[in-house]
Amino acid sequence: MTQDMKETFGGPGGSLAAKVRTLSPSLTRSMQRVAEAVASDPAGCAALTVTGLAELTGTSEATVVRTARLLGYPGYRHLRLALAGLAAQQQAGRAPAITTDIAVDDPIADVVAKLAYEEQQTLADTAAGLDTVQLGAAVTALAAARRTDVYGIGASGLVAQDLTQKLLRIGLMAHAPGDPHLAVTNAVQLRPGDVAIAITHSGSTGDVIEPLRTAFGHGATTVAVTGRPDSPVTQYADHVLATSTSRETELRPAAMSSRTSQLLVVDCLFVGVAQRTYETAAPALAASYEALAHRHRSTPR
């Protein structure tokens, strides 16, 4: 097996669907058609030349090549190898047979199975697309921060609170202001050495962008956790951590699937910071457990 084939079957090929979901919003309409075609029918597209795929999608050969490169492949030949690898995996029975479309009359057992699969896929897609260099840089900044502000609204606000509580448990100063006005006034107080994190699936939530922009302007290190790496929030982010953009359905709004991927990123940030600050984090965590231990003991009558 050549080095090209090893890279194709061992790396990019396995995360092709995740890349298409993540990059699709930033692609042109013609490039989206190419990306969707290769993701939905890897076996069929693997058999096509660059001209054949261009004809199938109603695009040009140049568009096909550009799409392949944006998906992470040096050229169309490498994309075809990846597609062949995916097709082989599916034929071997490793592709999921379950659909995540939940119907109103689905038995509850089917709902459980479909949601469980969707959660697994969301986590896998997020892990595959997460930039560990950006993640490491964010962890470094958090571990050394004097103070951390975390901004989020709605479902993302719950994730912001989760991260804040985790950081507080290991002795770090963190805030997750729920009021948009308070978030901005807090951001005004940030300085170089502080960290501000914006959590927004769409990347265009004004109540999250405004405090991040304020923090950015005051010299704080800024981080965006978003499902849209090309969205407005990233203009004010020193580090961008992309989450999976799972498909929204009537019975499963984006808030549910996005929260799953956001929580994975939050846990990665927390564990990374705990590793970096272990000498102080471990005693602080033990003290917080001890402080609450009596609440979990049965009270004798």
Asked if residue 135 and residue 89 are part of one domain, the reply reads no
Q: Which CATH number goes with the domain that contains 232?
A: 3.40.50.10490
Let me know whether 77 and 21 are in one domain.
yes
Is 113 a member of any domain?
no
Alpha-carbon distance of 52 to 64, in angstroms, equals 10
Helix (H, G, I), strand (E, B) or coil at 67: helix
* Strand ordering across the sheet containing 195-200: 174-175, 148-151, 195-200, 221-226, 239-242
Residue 71 clears pLDDT 60, i.e. is over it: yes
pLDDT at 21: 72
Please list, residue by residue across 31-48, b when 16 or more beta carbons sit within 10 angstroms of its beta carbon and e when fewer do: bbbbbebbbebbeebbeb
Q: Which helix (H) or strand (E) holds 242?
A: strand 239-242
Q: How many domains does the chain have?
A: 2
Q: What's the CA gap between 234 and 6, in Å, rounded?
A: 33
- Residue 15's pLDDT is 58
Domain containing 274 equals 120-293
CATH number, domain with residue 9: 1.10.10.10
- Residue 90 has what pLDDT? 65
Of these ranges, 4-18, 62-76, 182-196, the one predicted with the greatest mean pLDDT is 182-196
If we measure between CA atoms, which residue out of 162, 120, 136, 8 comes closest to residue 71? Answer: 8
Query: What share of the chain has pLDDT > 90, as a percent?
Result: 48
Tens digits of per-residue pLDDT, 234-249? 999 999 999 986 555 5
Q: Span 94-123, mean pLDDT? A: 72
Name which residue leads in pLDDT, 245 or 96. Answer: 245
Query: Would the pTM count as exceeding 0.75?
Result: no
